[in-house]
A and B are shown apart, each in its own frame.
Chain A
Amino acid sequence: KNEVEQSPQNLTAQEGEFITINCSYSVGISALHWLQQHPGGGIVSLFMLSSGKKKHGRLIATINIQEKHSSLHITASHPRDSAVYICAVWRSSGGSNYKLTFGKGTLLTVNP
């Protein structure tokens, strides 16, 4: 079992729909990132969370540390939101070092 699990793996939506992508992790973490990757493109960090909720435009990210679960929501989805969304957690790699462990990503396609 992967330490970071995302669901769904693939998601197709119509423009305007509300979208939720989930991330569960099984290790202790210091923070969690939601990342966005367009096909053949680079990676952008959308949010870094260690507790609670953050909002940026149409994007909302929440985290529940006790339940080891985070969600990324997109309101009023648009075709330009089509991308792979990746959950990544900072976890200790021994001593005072940390490293990112990634989920496999959720491929989101928003149709016009």
Chain B
Amino acid sequence: NAGVMQNPRHLVRRRGQEARLRCSPMKGHSHVYWYRQLPEEGLKFMVYLQKENIIDESGMPKERFSAEFPKEGPSILRIQQVVRGDSAAYFCASSPFFSSGNTIYFGEGSWLTVV
């Protein structure tokens, strides 16, 4: 049973380009979370999704950021018109059940560098 798969592991984008980060949850998991880890800072919640639904996007910047988890395929975190401040590690996690304190499994992370 493969773990949470994220790709790409490392991504370099020029300012103004788009970044797409993908996350395939563990088999059987229908709950996906995205977190951002800025340099020298802790992890911050961005968005919680279930299949075809955004449940909680309170941690997502209002502009340029969007997330989806379609019925088929991986979850996608999309950052439009990237700026230097978007450089960070983006972690995806998944869980099998409702998010009330269940064990959560993290991916290896996607490191975005904006130049």
Contacts and interface: CB of A to CB of B under 8 A. Distances in A.
Interface of A: 29-31, 33, 35, 40-45, 48, 50, 86, 88, 90, 93, 96-105
A110 B83 CA distance: 37
B83 to A, nearest CB: 23
Given A29-B101, A35-B106, A98-B99, 10 more contacts: A30-B100, A42-B107, A43-B109, A97-B56, A99-B33, A99-B56, A99-B59, A100-B33, A102-B43, A103-B42
Contacts of B111: 40
Given A99-B56, A102-B42, A50 B101 contact: yes
Given A42-B109, A43-B109, A99-B56, A48 B42 contact: no
Nearest to B109: A42
Given A42-B108, A88-B43, A104-B42, A99 B101 contact: no
Given A90-B100, A90-B101, A93-B58, A99 B45 contact: yes
Contacts of B105: 45
B99 A97 contact: yes
User: 10 smallest A-B Cβ distances: which pairs?
Assistant: A31-B101, A42-B108, A30-B101, A43-B106, A104-B42, A102-B43, A90-B101, A102-B42, A99-B45, A98-B99
A105 B42 contact: yes
Chain A interface main SS type: strand
Contacts of A88: 43
B84 to A, nearest CB: 20
Contacts of A86: 42-43
A105 B45 CA distance: 15
A104 B40 CA distance: 9
B56 A93 contact: yes
Interface string B97-115: 0111111111111010000
Contacts of A103: 42
Contacts of B103: 45, 48
